[in-house]
Amino acid sequence: MDWKLELVVVPVSDVDRAKAFYLDQTGFRLDVDHSAGEDFRVVQLTPPGSACSIALMRNPDAAGSVSGLHLVVADIDAARTELVDRGAKPGEVFHFAAGGVQSAGPDPERRDYGSFLSLRDPDGNEWLIQEVGRAGAAEA
Protein backbone atom coordinates (compact mmCIF):
# COMPACT_ATOMS: atom_id res chain seq x y z
CA MET A 1 0.00 0.00 0.00
CA ASP A 2 1.36 3.43 -0.96
CA TRP A 3 1.15 6.25 1.57
CA LYS A 4 1.57 9.55 -0.21
CA LEU A 5 2.00 12.93 1.40
CA GLU A 6 -0.10 15.19 -0.78
CA LEU A 7 -0.99 18.25 1.32
CA VAL A 8 0.68 20.27 4.06
CA VAL A 9 -1.26 23.01 5.87
CA VAL A 10 0.63 26.29 6.24
CA PRO A 11 -0.97 28.64 8.79
CA VAL A 12 -0.97 32.30 7.79
CA SER A 13 -2.38 35.55 9.13
CA ASP A 14 -3.44 36.96 5.74
CA VAL A 15 -4.43 34.47 3.04
CA ASP A 16 -4.35 37.01 0.19
CA ARG A 17 -0.84 38.20 1.12
CA ALA A 18 0.42 34.61 1.43
CA LYS A 19 -1.26 33.59 -1.83
CA ALA A 20 0.46 36.47 -3.64
CA PHE A 21 3.83 35.49 -2.15
CA TYR A 22 3.57 31.84 -3.17
CA LEU A 23 2.24 32.64 -6.65
CA ASP A 24 4.42 35.61 -7.54
CA GLN A 25 7.61 35.14 -5.55
CA THR A 26 8.00 31.36 -5.55
CA GLY A 27 6.17 30.34 -8.73
CA PHE A 28 3.80 27.87 -7.08
CA ARG A 29 0.73 26.94 -9.14
CA LEU A 30 -2.74 27.83 -7.84
CA ASP A 31 -4.90 24.70 -7.62
CA VAL A 32 -7.84 25.86 -5.49
CA ASP A 33 -9.16 29.08 -3.99
CA HIS A 34 -12.41 28.13 -2.27
CA SER A 35 -14.50 30.04 0.27
CA ALA A 36 -17.42 28.70 2.26
CA GLY A 37 -18.68 31.79 4.01
CA GLU A 38 -16.67 34.61 5.52
CA ASP A 39 -14.73 32.48 8.00
CA PHE A 40 -13.56 29.58 5.85
CA ARG A 41 -11.22 29.76 2.88
CA VAL A 42 -8.77 27.25 1.48
CA VAL A 43 -6.09 28.22 -0.99
CA GLN A 44 -4.14 25.25 -2.31
CA LEU A 45 -0.90 25.73 -4.26
CA THR A 46 1.67 23.33 -5.65
CA PRO A 47 5.40 23.89 -6.18
CA PRO A 48 6.54 23.33 -9.79
CA GLY A 49 7.07 19.61 -10.38
CA SER A 50 5.80 18.53 -6.96
CA ALA A 51 3.21 15.88 -6.14
CA CYS A 52 2.65 17.53 -2.74
CA SER A 53 0.74 20.79 -2.33
CA ILE A 54 0.29 23.31 0.45
CA ALA A 55 -2.97 24.70 1.80
CA LEU A 56 -2.93 28.22 3.16
CA MET A 57 -5.27 28.42 6.13
CA ARG A 58 -5.96 31.60 8.08
CA ASN A 59 -4.80 30.98 11.63
CA PRO A 60 -3.24 34.10 13.13
CA ASP A 61 -2.32 32.29 16.35
CA ALA A 62 -0.23 29.70 14.48
CA ALA A 63 0.97 31.88 11.57
CA GLY A 64 4.70 31.53 11.09
CA SER A 65 4.95 28.34 13.15
CA VAL A 66 5.92 26.00 10.30
CA SER A 67 9.59 25.26 9.77
CA GLY A 68 11.62 22.51 8.21
CA LEU A 69 9.60 22.05 5.04
CA HIS A 70 12.02 21.04 2.28
CA LEU A 71 11.81 21.76 -1.42
CA VAL A 72 14.21 19.81 -3.63
CA VAL A 73 15.85 21.32 -6.71
CA ALA A 74 18.49 20.07 -9.13
CA ASP A 75 20.42 23.38 -9.17
CA ILE A 76 20.42 25.44 -5.99
CA ASP A 77 22.16 28.41 -7.59
CA ALA A 78 19.54 28.62 -10.36
CA ALA A 79 16.77 28.22 -7.77
CA ARG A 80 18.14 31.09 -5.70
CA THR A 81 18.48 33.28 -8.79
CA GLU A 82 14.88 32.55 -9.78
CA LEU A 83 13.61 33.42 -6.29
CA VAL A 84 15.57 36.68 -6.26
CA ASP A 85 14.35 37.55 -9.76
CA ARG A 86 10.77 37.00 -8.56
CA GLY A 87 11.30 39.40 -5.65
CA ALA A 88 11.68 36.83 -2.88
CA LYS A 89 14.43 37.22 -0.32
CA PRO A 90 16.07 33.82 0.14
CA GLY A 91 19.12 33.36 2.30
CA GLU A 92 22.52 32.60 0.88
CA VAL A 93 23.45 29.07 -0.18
CA PHE A 94 25.10 27.07 2.60
CA HIS A 95 26.29 23.58 3.49
CA PHE A 96 27.28 21.75 6.65
CA ALA A 97 31.02 21.25 7.11
CA ALA A 98 32.80 18.86 9.46
CA GLY A 99 31.19 18.71 12.85
CA GLY A 100 27.87 19.93 11.48
CA VAL A 101 29.01 23.55 11.28
CA GLN A 102 26.94 25.63 8.85
CA SER A 103 29.30 27.10 6.25
CA ALA A 104 28.81 29.55 3.40
CA GLY A 105 28.48 28.32 -0.16
CA PRO A 106 27.36 25.06 -1.70
CA ASP A 107 28.72 21.68 -0.65
CA PRO A 108 32.30 21.66 -2.06
CA GLU A 109 31.69 18.27 -3.73
CA ARG A 110 28.11 19.18 -4.73
CA ARG A 111 26.85 15.98 -3.15
CA ASP A 112 23.13 15.31 -3.14
CA TYR A 113 21.43 16.65 -0.01
CA GLY A 114 24.49 18.76 0.80
CA SER A 115 23.60 22.32 -0.29
CA PHE A 116 20.78 24.42 1.11
CA LEU A 117 19.20 27.83 1.21
CA SER A 118 16.38 29.11 3.38
CA LEU A 119 13.29 31.11 2.55
CA ARG A 120 10.59 32.61 4.76
CA ASP A 121 7.08 33.57 3.72
CA PRO A 122 5.55 36.88 4.92
CA ASP A 123 4.40 35.24 8.20
CA GLY A 124 7.78 33.65 8.90
CA ASN A 125 7.00 30.06 7.90
CA GLU A 126 10.41 28.71 6.98
CA TRP A 127 11.36 26.55 4.02
CA LEU A 128 14.67 24.91 3.18
CA ILE A 129 15.58 24.40 -0.44
CA GLN A 130 17.93 21.48 -0.91
CA GLU A 131 19.99 20.46 -3.94
CA VAL A 132 19.50 16.88 -5.14
CA GLY A 133 20.32 15.40 -8.53
CA ARG A 134 22.71 18.07 -9.76
CA ALA A 135 25.03 15.52 -11.37
CA GLY A 136 22.11 13.92 -13.20
CA ALA A 137 20.83 17.30 -14.33
CA ALA A 138 24.26 18.22 -15.69
CA GLU A 139 24.43 14.98 -17.70
CA ALA A 140 20.97 15.39 -19.23
Band (pLDDT 50/70/90 cuts) for residue 39 is confident
pLDDT of 135 higher than 80: no
Tens of pLDDT along 79-129? 999 999 999 999 999 999 999 999 999 999 999 999 999 999 999 999 999
Instruction: Provide the pLDDT for residue 134.
Output: 81
Band (pLDDT 50/70/90 cuts) for residue 62 is very high
**Looking at residues 6-33, what average pLDDT do you find?**
97
**Residue 27 backbone phi and psi in degrees, to 5:** 80, 15
Domains 7-58 and 69-139 share a fold: yes
- Which CATH superfamily includes the segment(s) 7-58? 2,3-Dihydroxybiphenyl 1,2-Dioxygenase, domain 1 (3.10.180.10)
- Which CATH superfamily includes the segment(s) 69-139? 2,3-Dihydroxybiphenyl 1,2-Dioxygenase, domain 1 (3.10.180.10)
Q: Please state, rounded to an integer, the average pLDDT across all residues of the chain.
A: 94
Buried b (16+ CB within 10 A) or exposed e, 20-48: ebbeebbebeeeeeeeeeeeebbbbbbbe
Q: What are the structural domain ranges in the chain?
A: 7-58, 69-139
Q: Tell me the pTM.
A: 0.90
